[in-house]
Chain A
Amino acid sequence: MHGANLIYDGTFDGFLSTVFTVYEQKLSNVTIQNETHSQSLLFAETEFIPTNETQAKRVWKGLIKHLTFREASVVFYAFLSEQPNVENILLDYIQYIFKNEKGAGEDFSHPSVLKIAQIAKQVGREKHRMEAFVRFRLTKDEIYFAGIEPDFNVLPLILSHFKKRYADQKWLIYDIKRKYGIYYDLHSVEMINIDFPDTFDFTKTDETYFSEAEFDFQKLWKSYFRSSNIEERKNMKLHIQHVPKRYWKYLSEKQPD
């Protein structure tokens, strides 16, 4: 059998375009890889699939016909996990969905359906965590800024939550690991790239960049956080279970004095 190695640009539309190609060219035994992570393919024959919005839309529309809205969003969630090989599990999932009547999205005895649901659940948990753990700090140019380092690429998922909530302030949430942010300018939200100075430390609130009031409010918040604890009930195990240590870096209440 002749296998195909397909490379796409890493975007969701790019991935869907690749799925389109698989159907159009009736390919079998396919491997899909993100261009930025692809390695070890030097030997195999590879083909780059350009992103094509029309094709991507057609695949998505097809999915919506076979799935409930919730199940379709599971595909997007799982995609954002960026886990190695997730594209290929997704392809298997999509092929299974298209082959069957509506309702197949609930068939957890199918390994890919189960796997995708599990991955999507993890991504969903990270989304909720970020909605909780983002800590804005007011910059000198009146932008509420937060740096985050989520396990998965959740910025596209938390965007609407923050847009609805903070409609009257400019804000920017920046994914330090993935080097892009979402910025709201009082009208709309855009994805942006920023060149931070080399000396910029995301965990520090620095006088050069942040407003004077910012220092006061961080101190107030820290005092509040401390005073609301009941020492007689202290339970660090439970505390860490809820706020895992890897998130402490960017939590204002967890900063040293």
Chain B
Amino acid sequence: MSFERTREKLKILADAAKYDVSCSSSGSKRANTNKGLGNATGMGICHSYTEDGRCVSLLKILLTNYCIFDCAYCVTRKSNDIQRAAFKVQEVVDLTINFYRRNYIEGLFLSSGIFKSPDYTMERLVSVAKKLRLEENFNGYIHLKSIPGASDELMREAGLYADRLSVNIEIPTEIGLKKLAPEKKREDFVKPMLKVKNEIIQYKNEKKLIKSTPKYAPAGQSTQMIVGASGESDFQIMYTSNFFYKNYNLKRVYYSGYVPISYDDRLPKIGSEVPILRENRLYQTDWLLRFYGFEVNEILNETHPHLDLDIDPKLSWALRNRHEFPVDINTADKRMLARVPGLGMKSVYKILNARRFRRLNWDHLKRIGVALSRARYFIICDSSDFERADISSESLKGIILQNSKTKYNNTLNNQLSLF
């Protein structure tokens, strides 16, 4: 491999891939076989962090940034005046193996612009994964992008070698898609997703009968939506997200604050701020839906189409639903405990465990490590000392904000400090 040329390509094709925020390398177990290379334990490792604070776990690159499409929100779009490059299949294999051997990465995340046709592109992505698995005996993590419009056969093959497959919906609404990527249709995204979903189900069923059935995309599917490029509301984003979680068994939906990359007047201007806080609120909402038993319409609906930026979505819900509180820590069920602002699931389990032995008071709660700064306004326990319940939601919000100023200034990171 000619080093200088490869370095040039790597710069261009890593730069073009960085807007894909998924970096997860977890959820797939692939044991080292025949003394090969690599061993995925199911736990992802972040080997480093970029200066923007994001986890570096995979070699995340495009196979090429040549593209026949012209999606307005994308740096790789046909009409954009940028340097283009394309890796050879073997180059990607060599880079992955050599980075992996040095313990830089957990594996490869390979995406691509669409050159010639969707199938032509997908075929190359698949052949990288196939080479890694069959020729290099590589057991690290592989995430392939499903190219919209790729054939069912290729998608089936892709899942045999990849741990995860993803298609990015990017634009949450069909209207937005029509405006920003008129050549693209929702069906094109959905088709490979549907194929992968069905294959996963089928392989799982076969596995029950025949032990030796190979793995098929063991880490499942994910997708990503761009936030703030098409004037969509949080309501629209989360409904779309919910729809895809439910109908395509997605493992994750990622939200990526739009980074202005174009003078196109359909889009936010260059230099306008990346909506990082909004992105964080969407992740919090996503967690509430997946792990805290909330329904999407409780948090976002026609009358409340946007998430508050100054407070997290659970607190916001609680302030709108004061009639549900206070919650009695000693008798409430898990569902209600999980709805108390400031209580994470860990605290909920600590409470459930500790109250089997005794009735809990403020002191007990503190001792088992439950943070009360926000929760105390919404709970009662085995004590006669409570916060006043007759405070208006408006003033309560003020008090809580005052108490936790610094915390909110620190929420400028997307996946951490969720509650």
Contact = CB atoms under 8 A, between A and B. Distances in A.
Interface of A: 128, 131-138, 144, 146, 164-169, 186, 213, 216-217, 219-221, 223-225, 227-239, 241-243, 251-253
Interface string B41-68: 0000111111111111001110000000
B99 A217 contact: yes
Contacts of B15: 227-228
Given A135-B102, A239-B49, A168 B14 contact: no
A224 B14 contact: yes
Given A220-B10, A228-B56, A252-B104, A233 B259 contact: yes
Interface string B26-45: 00000110011111000001
Contacts of B95: 220
Contacts of B101: 136, 138, 144, 166, 169
Contacts of B47: 132-133
Nearest to B60: A228
Given A135-B103, A166-B101, A230-B54, 15 more contacts: A131-B45, A133-B47, A138-B102, A164-B32, A165-B37, A213-B98, A219-B3, A220-B6, A225-B50, A231-B52, A234-B51, A235-B412, A239-B52, A242-B53, A242-B55
A239 B53 contact: yes
Contacts of B55: 242
Q: What is the predominant secondary structure among interface residues of chain B facing chain A?
A: loop
B179 interface: no
Contacts of B99: 217, 220-221, 224
B51 A229 contact: yes
Interface string B256-283: 0101100000000000001010000000
Q: Interface range on chain B: under 10, 10 to 19, 20 to 34, or 35 or more?
A: 35 or more
B11 interface: yes
A194 to B, nearest CB: 20
A169 B257 CA distance: 41
A42 B104 CA distance: 49
B413 interface: yes
Given A216-B3, A221-B102, A242-B46, A230 B52 contact: yes
A99 B339 CA distance: 42
Instruction: Determine which residue in B10, B50, B259 has the highest number of CB atoms from chain A within 10 A of its CB, and name it.
Output: B50
Contacts of B317: none
A235 B52 contact: yes
A216 B50 CA distance: 21
B248 interface: no
Contacts of A227: 10-11, 14-15, 18
Nearest to B53: A238
Contacts of B6: 220
A251 B14 contact: no
Contacts of A224: 10, 14, 59, 61, 99
B11 A165 contact: no
27 contacts: A131-B45, A134-B103, A135-B103, A138-B102, A146-B103, A164-B31, A165-B32, A165-B38, A165-B39, A217-B99, A217-B102, A219-B3, A220-B3, A220-B7, A220-B10, A221-B104, A223-B14, A224-B14, A227-B18, A228-B14, A228-B50, A232-B259, A233-B53, A233-B276, A235-B413, A239-B50, A239-B51
Nearest to A233: B52
A136 B103 contact: yes
B239 interface: no
Contacts of A216: 3
Contacts of A133: 47-48
A227 B137 CA distance: 29
A100 B381 CA distance: 32
A130 to B, nearest CB: 10
Contact of A230 (B3, B19, B56): B19
